[in-house]
Structure 1
Amino acid sequence: MASLQGLGETRVAVLVDCDNVSPEVVEHALKIAAQFGRIVLRRGYGNHFTLANKWQETLVRLAFTPCLQYQYAAKKNTSDIALALDAQEALFDHRADLFCLVTSDSDFAYLCRKLRERGASVCIVGESKTPDALRNASDQFFEWHQESSVGEEASQVASLPAQATDQKPVVKRRPRFVIDAVSLLAGGTTDGRVSLGAVGSYLKRTDPGFSPTRYGIQGFWK
């Protein structure tokens, strides 16, 4: 598969098939997509049953545009067609160069092939159920796994009073999200290294309110 690393400020479209995946996948997909460039399109597609409750909260919180599609006939999924048409339109209008499709539905394999034929890059973020037909139609496939909530937030260890003279000093741990960012970015390089500036830019893309000074660091971009 072709590597999507090193694309700089590529314009990225994140299109989510809400009828097919869990809302928990979306944050992971944004982290994946942010390593490739600036996310310019965030859209979630589904029917009026899907785009409610957990999906509504997720789309609002993560600043996605909900694309509601009514079913004109029973067992007809209009959301897939809307997603495919919007992807093609974004490509032809030069609004996006790379497409991150969040789905496990093999029906999108043809869309992936057409986008790539037109010069776009495509990555898929899906669950383990994703068939090979869809995995192999993309430039890169990223499988999402249910993760434990333990250790997801930044781990900050406070200094504790010494109980004995031979007690070892408390080790300050790096925030977990920084470790995850370095692992993700370094995984696509030949030498396993990533610059501090690249890490800072990536963290800013995933969280526009991110500031390194909150963690005692003067700057990532120096």
Structure 2
Amino acid sequence: MTDTPRIAILIDADNVEPAHIRFAVEDARGRGRVVIRRAVGRLTSIKGREKVLTDLGFSAEVAFSGARATKDTADLMLAQIGIRLAERGTVEVIALVSSDSDFATIARGIAESGVEVIGYGKANTPAAFREAVSAFVAFPENGAPSATTKAAAKENDTDKARRIIEGHLNKAGEGRPQVIGQALSRAFDGNYKGRLGVKTFKELIKKLGGYEILDDPKGGGVSAQTLRRKA
């Protein structure tokens, strides 16, 4: 994976509210460079989300099966898009945005094609989908705040930094400091150290608490280090 991963966001328009689409895009931006945005769903779903999809630069596709749209058709289309992107090497990360348990199969199929898959969905999203992705991000229960909403404005810089770090840890609670540092820089307009009152990434981790940086026993310097959540 490149230091700044390219990300494709695939939206299940039949199962995701407009506010949650905004939330997923904002979170994904903190993880890398979003280069592809696609949404698939029935015509009524696409029309109901037309403004947010247009505002955020999504390409929308209507799912049809013969003369009528079906849920299975939309799922199949998203799976095909994801696998095609993975096989072409277009992106390093694919973000699936849905609360549908059927997306567990889609996530596994895409992951088998060689890319990392992260998921977004409601807090009650079935475990099957949660376990099929390398990281799962639940939508806020009170709606999805954007960077311009009052809810987001109340998040202090320390909480924001911790959220970004947690979003880059795998199921084992581990992540790459180099990648996390780059995500923090993007999220804080290139000045996370100044905003958080530290001189180094290592100092930030010590200040936040709850994490540790481990050196690779085989050497390799900073690029080989691992950030781990303390037990």
TM-score by length of 2: 0.66
Q: Which moved more, 1:110-119 or 1:90-99?
A: 110-119
Cα shift at 1:128: 2.4
AA paired with 1:44? A
Q: Name the residue aligned to 2:151.
A: 152
Q: What residue ranges of structure 1 are gaps of 5+ in the alignment?
A: 1-5, 156-175, 205-210, 218-222
Q: For residues 12-43 of structure 1, give each alpha carbon's deviation from its aligned partner in whole angstroms, at most 9, with x where no partner exists.
A: 11000010121111121112222321111101
Cα shift at 1:123: 0.7
Structure 2 residue 63 is matched with structure 1 residue 69: yes
CA distance in 2, matches of 1:111, 1:60: 25
Cα shift at 1:92: 1.1
Q: For residues 55-85 of structure 1, give each alpha carbon's deviation from its aligned partner in whole angstroms, at most 9, with x where no partner exists.
A: 0011011111111223435673221111111
CA distance in 1, matches of 2:105, 2:112: 11
Cα shift at 1:104: 1.1
Structure 2 residue 122 is matched with structure 1 residue 127: yes
AA paired with 2:57? A
CA distance in 2, matches of 1:139, 1:48: 31
Residue in structure 2 matching 1:97, options 92, 117, 125: 92
Structure 2 residue 4 is matched with structure 1 residue 16: no
Contact (CA 8 Å) 1:47, 1:71: kept in 2 or not? no
AA paired with 1:185? I
Contact (CA 8 Å) 1:128, 1:144: kept in 2 or not? yes
Structure 2 residue 134 is matched with structure 1 residue 139: yes
AA paired with 2:184? V
CA distance in 2, matches of 1:9, 1:71: 38
CA distance in 2, matches of 1:87, 1:16: 11
Percent of aligned pairs sharing the same letter: 26
Residues 1-222 of structure 1 aligned to structure 2 (within 5 Å): 8-53=3-48, 55-72=49-66, 76-77=70-71, 78-147=73-142, 151-152=150-151, 154=153, 176=155, 181-187=160-166, 188=168, 195=181, 198-202=183-187
Q: 1:89 to 1:75 in 2, by over 3 A?
A: closer
SS of the equivalent of 1:52 reads helix
The alignment of Structure 1 onto Structure 2 pairs a total of residues equal to 179
Contact (CA 8 Å) 2:6, 2:34: kept in 1 or not? yes
Cα shift at 1:140: 0.9
Contact (CA 8 Å) 1:100, 1:125: kept in 2 or not? yes
CA distance in 1, matches of 2:134, 2:187: 20
Contact (CA 8 Å) 1:152, 1:177: kept in 2 or not? no
Q: 1:177 to 1:64 in 2, by over 3 A?
A: farther
Q: 1:80 to 1:185 in 2, by over 3 A?
A: same
SS of the equivalent of 2:60 reads strand
SS of the equivalent of 2:136 reads strand
AA paired with 2:52? T
